[in-house]
Chain A
Amino acid sequence: MRRIAGALALLIGVLTAPGLAGAEDLPQRWVSAGGSLSEWVVALGGERKLVGVDSTSQHPGSLRALPSIGYQRQLAAEGILALKPDLLLGSEEMGPPTVLAQLKAAGVRIETLSAAPEVPALQANLKRLGELLGDPQRAARTLADYEARLQRQAQWVEQARVTAPAPRVLFLLGHVGNSPMAAGKDTAAAWFVEHAGGRNLTGHDGYKPISAESMAALDPDVVVFADRRLSGDDAIAALLKSTPALASTKAAKGGRILWVDPTLLVGGLGPRIPQALADLSAGFYPAAPPLKVADRQP
């Protein structure tokens, strides 16, 4: 009976809470349905408030120990209610709408933040997360630091381009054994390549299968490969094995096939992006002195 009474008190408390008035109203039990949002919650010191995450929240590894609420577009109302959350955090992709309505009716506050891979979206997200976590200063500091790192990254790329031309880059996303998909011009992968100082070669939208012949015809200087199962050199070896056509490209001949973690590309700009950009751009401009990663996240 005490448990029900507690749940009920919680429910009534949430239903009658007048928005974000004071610190005592801050949500204490969070469910996060969005990979990079979960990462930010952890980066801003809110990890102990998380009671459940969705299947895209894989970083940091400690999040995998939390109960999984499944895929962000297929949330189950009762499963989430069983975690007794007072806040559900997610992006516009979160759904289905009827489930969100049921959760709202049950008194769960729903925060929808943007998953767009762009700085203004990130600014708004961090500001909101700072308010919800009750530590806006820390969020502001983190944002300023993040923007400074992106700024330094941009300057570094500008410097590097003085001495070397921008490499022509093909971004491939794949599962081992299947033919890889090429990232098109409007994707997070393209954003990533451009900000690391490369030039994305493809002209299509989204991620599309690409034929061996067109890969050879594009003849990229650098191939960036994101694989969901293998990492590092294993992934690159598997890629070369499954797509022999790559061997004839400049990228393969020059040994310039780079691996990136595909979870970086999901759900907007995450905290690991500046570091990953620095690593990638070092691969794009091997002659330039690598960008110093001084002040890392606190």
Chain B
Amino acid sequence: MSASVRSRRLLIFLGVLLVLAIWLSLALGPVSLPLLDTLRAALRMVGLPVTAAGLEQAELILGQIRLPRTLLGLAVGAVLALSGVAMQGLFRNPLADPGLVGVSSGAALGAAVAIVAGASLGGVPAAFEPYLLSFCAFVGGLGVTALVYRLGRHDGQTSVATMLLAGIALTALAGAAIGLFTYMADDSTLRSLTFWNMGSLNGASYARLWPLLIVALAVSLWLPRRARALNALLLGESEARHLGFEVERLKRELVFCTALGVGAAVAAAGLIGFIGLVVPHLVRLIAGPDHRILLPASALAGASLLLLADLVARLALAPAELPIGIVTAMIGAPFFLYLLLRGRA
């Protein structure tokens, strides 16, 4: 079987998996709806003429709770996985994670500022208040990443190694600042902060969804266009340059894409670990290192995995909910160990 046939089959398989995950995410939840009602409500939502009799509850739960949640999971999963591919390509290291350039810790710092200081700050217009947390997380992520990128630049060149180290240093610094805010927090804000750090797709609403959807769409359309350049980068920076790719521009674009994508994802759903690390890895194991397959396949797999993890999060303790970061880490960490041990053998 040729490589292209295999990768086409993988993409088809992942596409089917994603459709299945979306369906499960719409059909399952703590409220048990008859399958037929779910189906009819779903058909009505896409505009097909189905009788509305007896569908009020199904439409409400599907339309107002499960659909926004599913869209959120879809966007967050795809963006995190794509950013993971971009970072692993940029650092030419399969253990790289979007957090390396400081976007996660910057977002966490922004969230800590919003949660702890936001309450006492006052003066925030009431209309803006529900968005304060997301806004601060997004700005924090983008800001710290910009700083990491700036520190990595010297004489018009971006040193990836310096960026990596700057990322570690700024992550530590952000950690210290978060610690300071944690110290100043009272009991209840402390718990909000803890929960935010574990991520959740809970409480998704259309009003807060669209900025992320736009970013996710842009990143998913744009990154695959750089697949060839990323492939060339695998050979080394100078090799890629000799092959005619603008390496400096590529680096800048990769960092910007990651900061934008992860920043928006984290702002909408909190910190969700391991998707960005494990999904590209998993796909690479099956499909090989070609970014033309790796990028779309990772986006599909990341979205599916996050939706399935969210199903566990909302069903395991129903009517209460498990933070989704716990679920992804519980799946991700053992898998990561398995990869490490397998590589050693």
Contact = CB atoms under 8 A, between A and B. Distances in A.
Contacts of A117: none
A207 B186 contact: yes
A160 to B, nearest CB: 31
Contact of A70 (B37, B60, B187, B317): B317
Interface stretch (B136-144, B200-208, B300-308): B200-208
A76 B61 contact: no
A74 interface: yes
A231 interface: no
A90 interface: no
Given A4-B37, A207-B186, A97 B130 contact: yes
Contacts of A45: none
Given A74-B202, A79-B30, A98-B208, A7 B321 contact: no
Given A68-B319, A102-B65, A102-B203, 13 more contacts: A4-B54, A11-B56, A68-B317, A71-B191, A74-B202, A76-B320, A79-B321, A82-B30, A82-B31, A82-B319, A102-B205, A105-B60, A206-B185
B144 to A, nearest CB: 25
B64 A67 contact: no
Given A7-B57, A8-B57, A98-B204, A73 B192 contact: yes
A76 B208 contact: no
Interface residues on B, range: 35 or more
Contacts of A148: none
Interface in A86-114: 93, 96-99, 101-102, 105-106
B133 to A, nearest CB: 10
B146 to A, nearest CB: 29
B66 interface: yes
A5 interface: yes
A78 interface: yes
B34 interface: yes
Interface in A30-52: 52
A206 B205 contact: no
Contacts of A83: 319
A8 B54 contact: yes
Contacts of B54: 1, 4-5, 8
Contacts of A79: 30, 314, 318-321
A78 B61 contact: yes
B188 interface: yes
- Pick the most buried of A4, A7, A75: most chain B CB atoms within 10 A of its CB: A4
A207 B186 CA distance: 7
A69 to B, nearest CB: 5
Interface in B213-236: none
A78 B65 contact: yes
Contacts of B208: 98
Interface string B43-63: 000000000001011001100
A96 B200 CA distance: 11
B57 A55 contact: no
Contact of B34 (A4, A75, A82): A4
B314 to A, nearest CB: 6
Contacts of A75: 202
B256 interface: no
A7 B183 CA distance: 46
Nearest to B320: A70
B320 A55 contact: yes
B195 interface: yes
Interface string B73-112: 0000000000000000000000000000000000000000
Contacts of B57: 4, 7-8, 11
Contacts of B289: none
Interface in A50-85: 52, 55, 67-71, 73-83
B26 to A, nearest CB: 12
A81 B30 contact: yes
